[in-house]
Each structure stands twice: as structure tokens, then as C-alpha cells.
Structure 1
Amino acid sequence: MREIPRDRRDVLGEGLYWSAREQAVYWTDILGCRVNRLRLADGRVDSWEMPGTIGWIVEREDASGFVAGLDRRMVALTLNPLTITPLADPDRSGNRMNDAKADPTGRIWAGTMALDGARPTGAFYRLDQKGTVTRVDDGYHIADGPAITPDGRTLFHTDSALRTVYRFEIDAEGGLGPRETFIDFEEGWGDPDGMTLDADGGLWIACWGAGCVTRFTPEGRRDRSISLPASQVTNCIFAGPELDRMFVTSASHGVDEPQAGALFEVDPGCRGTPTHRYRG
């Protein structure tokens, strides 16, 4: 395990995204209102200040820049120069975007939450390739951590406040099947946060409050954990040309820990699955 050297720590690191095109890891600082980038070639970290909370960032397939979750909106974003173009404002007042992923077809799945995380006003949305936004699930305290299987047929999602990971089947038209409980976190496991899948079908979950990332088997059995020197672990992603490097975000908000808010690299001992771009 190593901490990535840089001149700042995140208030609430999140929204990890591996850019194979740039050979760079992007992530957000939601409460610090920043987008960050780590270039693997030279280890340089760049940072861009945003005009509000920013939950996630996903590359675009056929256009420059990204789609991002800014405050409660979905926006088109470029960084050099900084431009922000509204795409959709689907969510309720008092909520914000939290985390999102693109699936193999190029759709984006994004969750929201109340600003204080105390009310079940969060929802789950699908942004289609033509720009249509659909609310596909509702009633979340903290909608977090989508992860989608490489065949695009199964989606994992969580309500961190309820410490429950859900599984959904995705049909050919992008509709979600019934919400099924996949994992109920036990005491001592922390709260399930950001997630990613490895090439063997294992689900890796950042465990807020427990200071680790934990792998669960395709059957939902707790397999193994990697400890980190920060209690509030928020997200994880595979990166690198071989997808065999794992990067992990953390948060410093509300804790006094020397390495809280750092970006870490750990050795997962396996390979991950590719990230996808938005095809719209």
C-alpha cells in the first residue's frame, strides 16, 4: 500500500474513473468541490476547482470532455478550458449527485442523496445515449456505488446508510428488475460505499468506517480485505494497462487522522474489468 504524493487531501474523495485513453485516474472531492487527475506515466496530480459539489465524472465516447454530476445536475464538462453545460436537472431540491458508472452500452447510472444524508429522498437515475433521464429506483438515504457486470446484465447498488448492497437485473431496454438484497453488512464491516468488479466476478467494496476495501465472491460471501490507514474509505477502482492496480479514495471530513482524505494505491492480487464511456 502507498499514499499518492500530492499537496492536498480530499474532504470527501469519491467518483473514481479510470481513463484508458489518457492512462490516468480521475476522481472527485465532493465537498471540496474539485476534480482530480493522476497521470500514471509520471505520477503528476492535477486539480480543478468546481462551482459546487461534484459526485462523479465519466468520459464521453464521441465528444471531448466528460459528463459529471454537479450539485443535483448532470452536466457536460471540459477541464482545459473549464466549461460546464447543463444536460439535465432530474432530482429533488435538497439533494445532490453522489456516485455513478457507465455500462457497456454507454448509459450512465447515477445515484443521489439528501445533502445531510438523513432522509430517504435519494433516487437512482439512468441517462440514456440520447440524453433522456429516467428515475429507475427511489427511496435511498445514500445511493452509492453502482457496479455493472461486463455483460451489462447485472447491476449492484447500495444504500450506505442501511448497510445493504442490492442486485438488479437489467433488461434489453435498460429497465431494472426487482431490487434484491445481495449483501447485508454485519457489525464491524463498516458501511458499503463505492464498488467495482474484478475479472473473476468478485465485488470489491470500499468500507466506510472500517478502513478497508473488501472483496465479496460472486455468491456474496466475504472473501478478503485490504486494510488502509484511513477509516473513511469511499471508493475503489482498477487501473493501469493490465487493470491490475487498484486505487482507493478516502475522506477527511469529521475525523482527525494523518492520512484521511488521501488517495491510496493497493495491490489487489487480481485484475479488474474495464471502465466505460458515455455514448451520448
Structure 2
Amino acid sequence: MIRRDRRDRLGEGPLWHAADGALYWVDILDRRLNRLALADDSVDDWELPEMTGWVVARRDAPGFLAGAESGVKALTLEPFAIEPFADLPDHPPGNRMNDAKADARGRVWAGTMPITADRPTGAFYRVDTDGAVSVADRPYTIANGPAISPDGRWLFHTDTRRRETYRFRLHEDGTLDDKRLWLRFEEAWGTPDGMTFDAEGGLWIAHWGGSRVSRFDPDARIERDIRLPASQITSMAFAGERLDRMFVTSAGDGVDEPHGGALFEVDPGVQGVEPHKFGKE
């Protein structure tokens, strides 16, 4: 099901916000934040000053953290305001933030990439609840789709250009180790983009250039495919009171497709996990 008329040049970062009863997502290239209210299907949007790859809700303050070209921002909607929150170490000019998730302890894990997507100048960062930012892993050309297992033990992260998804052991203190190649996409699948876990431990991955989202089992085998009428599928999020509705973002930039850049809703056949928020409890 296609959920609205407007198309995104590069839809990304879908986030369910239960307190608002709404799905948020960004259009990176058009510099917009979108909101779909599930109660009445109304859509609102806000213009952003920079290309922004993600928003994560806060539990210690109103609004969101947002990942922009120049660093991490604090964003509120009522009133609309964007303020600097944290700088990124070793963040070269021409890079931007691309995708992020919060973990159970309130930290945000976020990747960066060159805007041109053609050189390995990106990195994977940890944003601590006190605002300190550190590099967790590098290099990346297109850092994408962090996802954290429901038990909090494993963190998954992707370099889309390499077609590779890695698994790290995530410790309570926020350190990562035991990095392993978990999955390499076959060429016929497209390339791996955004991802999220469901409540049963299945890992859903968007296929950029592959026109679908897939559910992978713990052994990295495809267990389920959901095909979509657009090629550039970017990410997905579970939403709704029971977290049993899945919304999928896509990109229309560079393709001539009637549904490229649409926001889709699909039936995943499984419930998701409530997204974590940034900040101290």
C-alpha cells in the first residue's frame, strides 16, 4: 500500500514515535522531515537547513536528535528549532550523516559517508548520553542501517558499497569487539541498505536496487521476501500500537519509476520492537 502522493528523492530513517502516534522519516536530498499521523493519515513536513539522514527521539528532553551534514543537532518541532548538539571527530568536509539507531542505554550509533558516495571517508560513531562522540569503527564508503538485536548483545552495521553487513558484540559500556562479516549480498539482490530487528530476532534488510525488503534468520539466510514496485528501497520501521505494521521508505532520485520515492506500508507477519530513545533514564 502506498501511503501518500508526494515522492521523496531519498526517503530514509523511518522512526515510530508512539507518544505522537506517528511515523517520522527524512528526505535527505530534499532536506525535509516528514510525519505521518496514523490516526488520520495526515502528513506534515518541515524544511531542514542541511541534508539530514536520521532523527532519534529523546527521553531526557523534548524533540529529537538529528544527524545532519555538519554534525548532531537538537531538533524540536513546537516550536520548530534546530541547535548544535555535538560535533563529530575526524569528520571531513564533504561527508554527511546517513543512518542511526539508539540502544537500550540511550546511546546513538550513527554512520557517515561522503556525499558523493565514492570513497571510504565515512566512519561509524557512538554518541553518548553526555554528548561525547567517539569513532567506533572505520572506514566506510556508505555507512548504513545500524540495528541492535532485541537482547542487546549484538550490533549490526553495513557498508552498502561493499555489499557487506557486519556483526559486532556490543558490551554494556558501549564498546564493540568481535567484528565479523555476517552477510555479503549477492549481486542479484541489489545492495544492503537500512535494517531493523523484529521481536523474534529476525533481521529485516532493505534492498537498494533490489525492489524488496527481506527477513534474514540468525544464520543470515533469507526467510521471507516482500516485493515492492520501486527499485531503490532504503529502510523500514515497525509502527502502530501493536508494532505489527511495517512502513518502508524508498528513493526516486535517478530513476524513472511511478512509485520511486513512495512511502509503502506492508504486512510483515510479525511484530517489531519499540525503538529506543536517546538520553539518560
- Residue 14 of structure 1: how far off its partner (Å): 0.2
Aligned residues: 278
- Residue 199 of structure 1: how far off its partner (Å): 1.2
The one-letter code sitting in structure 2 at the alignment partner of 1:266 is V
CA contact (8 A) 1:26 1:35 kept: yes
RMSD: 0.9
With normalisation by structure 2, the TM-score equals 0.97
> 3-state DSSP class of the match of 1:188?
helix
Match of 1:3 in 2: 2
Alignment of 1:245-264 (within 5 A): 245-264=245-264
Identity %: 57
CA deviation map 1:71-102 (0-9, x unaligned): 13100001222211101221221100000000
CA distance in 2 between counterparts of 1:139 and 1:35 reads: 28
CA contact (8 A) 1:105 1:152 kept: no
- Residue 276 of structure 1: how far off its partner (Å): 0.9
CA distance in 2 between counterparts of 1:24 and 1:266 reads: 16
Match of 1:142 in 2: 142
- Residue 172 of structure 1: how far off its partner (Å): 2.0
The one-letter code sitting in structure 2 at the alignment partner of 1:107 is R
- Residue 67 of structure 1: how far off its partner (Å): 0.3
Structure 1 segments, 4+ long, off by >2 Å, are: none
CA deviation map 1:40-93 (0-9, x unaligned): 101001000001101000111021110001113100001222211101221221
CA contact (8 A) 2:16 2:238 kept: yes
CA contact (8 A) 2:150 2:201 kept: no
* Range that drifts further, 78-87 or 205-214: 78-87
The one-letter code sitting in structure 1 at the alignment partner of 2:61 is A
Q: Does 1:208 align with 2:213?
A: no
Unaligned runs of 5+ in 1: none
The one-letter code sitting in structure 1 at the alignment partner of 2:265 is E
> 3-state DSSP class of the match of 1:16?
strand
CA contact (8 A) 1:104 1:150 kept: no
Q: Does 1:166 align with 2:171?
A: no
CA distance in 1 between counterparts of 2:21 and 2:194 reads: 21
- Residue 178 of structure 1: how far off its partner (Å): 2.9
* Range that drifts further, 63-72 or 206-215: 63-72
The one-letter code sitting in structure 2 at the alignment partner of 1:131 is G
CA distance in 2 between counterparts of 1:80 and 1:200 reads: 36
Unaligned runs of 5+ in 2: none
Q: Does 1:16 align with 2:51?
A: no
